[in-house]
Amino acid sequence: MIWPFQRRPAAIRTVAGLGEIQARFKVEHAGFSLDVDLHLPGRGVSALFGHSGSGKTSCLRCFAGLDRPTEGYLQVNGQLWQDSAAGIFVPAHQRAVGYVFQNANLFSHLSVQRNLDYGLKRIPVAQRRIALEQAVELLGIGHLLQRLPGKLSGGEQQRVGIARALLTSPRLLLLDEPLASLDLKRKQEVLPYLERLHAELQIPIVYVSHSPDEVARLADHLVLLEDGQVRASGPLKETLLRADLPFVFEDDAEAVVDGLVSAHDQSYGLLSLQLPGSRIRLQLPHGPLPLGASVRIKIKARDVSLSLQQADDSSVLNLLPARVLDWINVAEQAHVLVRVQVADEQLMARITRYSFDRLSIQRGQSLWAQIKSVSLLSAS
């Protein structure tokens, strides 16, 4: 039931800003402060990335109105939810947000069906943009409806939590490390559903994570938080390639590349991808995928080496024409991270300083990037 004495929601003001999210939060606690000023795209997935204690979750709670920052401004695609300067604070239950909690946070006294109904019933029919059946199908939870949350696996709980949030027809979907409490197998079970959200939802998603893999796989926009401050914010690929960020600390440095499935070699079990806007091809061991499907792959800097000649006697599968953009010395001095352009994409190569000097690498130089390993992040 909808509580009869519930006050009519205060009219939510609209402001200019369609197509983007503007958020400014200032929170001061003993031992912790958050001070962020964010401009995020009005659709697609924005990842808030950082170590624990960096303020990711605090930030997300401010988005939802679960915490009230001392100073704050928040507008989501033109809807003004907070403007502390004007004394505006729309409480959590009057914001059109969907929130997926780290531990799912399902109501233990209600069946899955009634958990889903809880939010749905509170949305006027005219404002519903997703039907129960759709959400159930999208998250693959049709067989769970009559169960109690206590009888579900962690992954199933998360999927129900996501469906429950979606059924409130939110204008902004917030996910707080939905995979963090799951083991690898459960993660693999939930990730495809998150990718479907990404592909099928028209609303912006803010995704909190401390896993580079998840971020690389799901995000379009990356916000790097450190000690409650924004260290970097920008489109995913660009930001990943910014060699000045802790994100690229040596072993972790990586690039994300989009490709289209162009062929599959049955006899060798190799999948061929074409980099968009070019004739350059990448191959990786993988089962067949539909031709023309768009996929996202991850290439670690340590798996990329550079050579001046197109060696055709190497065991390395992928040898791509590249152009040197810039480089940075990494901390321990023995290595250099070199950023190169391949077609429209950018990669990073982690090579020794000795090799760097021996090849006398120059800006704008053309050379070959040998890619030892490619991992497929997603296919949609």
Partner 1 sequence: MPLTHADVAAVWLTLELASLTTVVLLLLGTPIAWWLARTDSRWKQPIGAIVALPLVLPPTVIGFYLLVSMGPHGVIGQLTQSLGLGTLTFTFTGLVIGSVFYSLPFVVQPLQNAFEAIGRGPLEAAATLRAGPWDAFFTVVLPLAKPGFVTASVLGFAHTVGEFGVVLMIGGNIPGKTQVASVQIYNHVETMEYAQAHWLAGGMLLFSFIVLLALYSGRSNKRIWQ
- Binding positions for partner 1, rule: CB under 8 A: 1-3, 5-7, 64-66, 91-94, 97-99, 101, 103, 105-109, 118-119, 122-123, 164-165, 168
Task: Give, for 233, the enclosing helix (H) or strand (E).
Answer: strand 229-235
Q: How far is the CB of 322 from partner 1 (least distance, A)?
A: 46
Nearest residue (CB) to partner 1, 9 versus 235: 9
Q: In what order do the strands lie in the sheet with 304-307?
A: 304-307, 366-371, 318-329, 335-342, 345-352
Contact 353, 335 (CB under 8 A): yes
Cα–Cα distance, 346 to 340 (Å, whole number) = 6
Nearest residue (CB) to partner 1, 84 versus 94: 94
Q: How far is the CB of 312 from partner 1 (least distance, A)?
A: 58
| Closest by CA position to 133, among listed 122, 123, 145 | 145
Nearest residue (CB) to partner 1, 16 versus 125: 125
Nearest residue (CB) to partner 1, 5 versus 313: 5
Nearest residue (CB) to partner 1, 2 versus 85: 2
Q: How far is the CB of 256 from partner 1 (least distance, A)?
A: 30
Q: How far is the CB of 94 from partner 1 (least distance, A)?
A: 8
DSSP calls for 314-366: -S-SEEEEEEEEEEEE-TTSSEEEEEEEETTEEEEEEEEHHHHHHTT--TT-E
Task: Give, for 296, the enclosing helix (H) or strand (E).
Answer: strand 294-300
- The count of C-alpha atoms lying within 13 angstroms of the C-alpha of 345, restricted to the half-sphere facing its C-beta, is 27
Nearest residue (CB) to partner 1, 3 versus 292: 3
Q: How far is the CB of 111 from partner 1 (least distance, A)?
A: 12
Q: How far is the CB of 225 from partner 1 (least distance, A)?
A: 21
Cα–Cα distance, 36 to 22 (Å, whole number) = 11
Q: How far is the CB of 42 from partner 1 (least distance, A)?
A: 20
| Closest by CA position to 187, among listed 149, 159, 150 | 159
Nearest residue (CB) to partner 1, 7 versus 279: 7
Cα–Cα distance, 336 to 356 (Å, whole number) = 7
Nearest residue (CB) to partner 1, 72 versus 161: 161
Q: How far is the CB of 39 from partner 1 (least distance, A)?
A: 24
Cα–Cα distance, 4 to 98 (Å, whole number) = 23
Q: Classify 148 as helix, strand or coil.
A: coil
Nearest residue (CB) to partner 1, 73 versus 101: 101
Nearest residue (CB) to partner 1, 113 versus 262: 113
Q: How far is the CB of 120 from partner 1 (least distance, A)?
A: 9
DSSP calls for 157-180: HHHHHHHHHHTT--SEEEEE-TTT
Residues 6+ apart with CB under 8 A from 102: 57, 176, 177, 178, 180, 181
Q: Which is it for strands 304-307 and 204-209: parallel, antiparallel or unpaired?
A: unpaired
Residues 6+ apart with CB under 8 A from 358: none
Q: How far is the CB of 360 from partner 1 (least distance, A)?
A: 58
Contact 199, 164 (CB under 8 A): no
